[in-house]
Amino acid sequence: MISFRKCTTADIDIIRELTFKIWPATYSAILTPEQIEYMLEMMYSETALKEQLQQKRHTFIILYHNDAPAGFASYSVKEPGKTNSYKLHKIYVLPGKQGLGLGKKIVDLIIGDIMPQGAKALELNVNRNNKARGFYESLGFRVIKEEDIDIGNGYFMNDFVMEKVL
């Protein structure tokens, strides 16, 4: 059984627990342990998650599979005041639950939420060495550009920017 729930700050512990199970498996082949540790603190500390939920107005969703948290996603309007383009900031599924169609269900849920609000496109960033690119392409996303984002401490996110026209 699959279900979803929108998050509040009360769910930060669940998001963090999932993150610390998913990130090492997802990124250990393409990022150094030091960069993973730095990025986890930068993006997934309690303070960072509260800021994303409250100030940046990101919508977080937790995915449940058989009543247990199995993944999460976050998204927001790309440019405040404009509702035609949205950004998928995060989408993660536990390694043991990948390949079951859960990621597609999360994306479908998000698209179903944003289209009535006038969304014409959903954009995301994916590391250029991340095998998830194929997953996104299978959902109709296409690479529109490359970008290297300086995240501090000498680290860069070397990403493809992908877009799905809705």
Report the chain's terminal Cα–Cα distance, integer Å: 27
pLDDT (tens digit per residue) in 77-121: 998 777 799 999 999 999 999 999 999 999 999 999 999 999 999
Contact between 151 and 157 under an 8 Å Cβ cutoff? The reply is yes
The whole-number average pLDDT for the span 15-37 is 95
pLDDT score recorded for residue 165 = 97
pLDDT reported for residue 108: 98
Q: What whole-number percentage of the chain has pLDDT above 70?
A: 100
User: Beta-strand (E) ranges in 57-132?
Assistant: 59-65, 68-79, 82-93, 121-127
Question: What pLDDT is stored for residue 31 in this prediction?
Answer: 93
Model pLDDT for residues 129-153, shown as the tens digit of each residue: 999 999 999 999 999 999 999 999 9
Res 144: pLDDT: 98
pLDDT surpassing 90 at residue 59: yes
Structure tokens at 87: 């950004």
Q: Rounded to an integer, what distance in angstroms lies between the CA atom of residue 17 and that of residue 91? A: 14
Q: Given this model, what pLDDT does residue 48 score?
A: 98
Q: Where are the domains of the chain?
A: 2-165
Residues 6+ apart with CB under 8 A from 144: 123, 161, 162, 163
Full-model pTM: 0.94
Given the candidates 3.40.630.30, 3.30.2320.30, 3.20.20.70, 2.60.40.3470, the CATH classification of the domain at 2-165 is 3.40.630.30
Specify whether the CB–CB gap between 89 and 123 falls below 8 A. no
What's the pLDDT band for 14 if we cut at 50, 70, 90?
A: very high
| Residue 3 confidence (pLDDT) above 90 | yes
Q: What angle do CA 115, 62, 125 make, to 5 degrees?
A: 60
Average pLDDT taken over every residue of the chain: 96
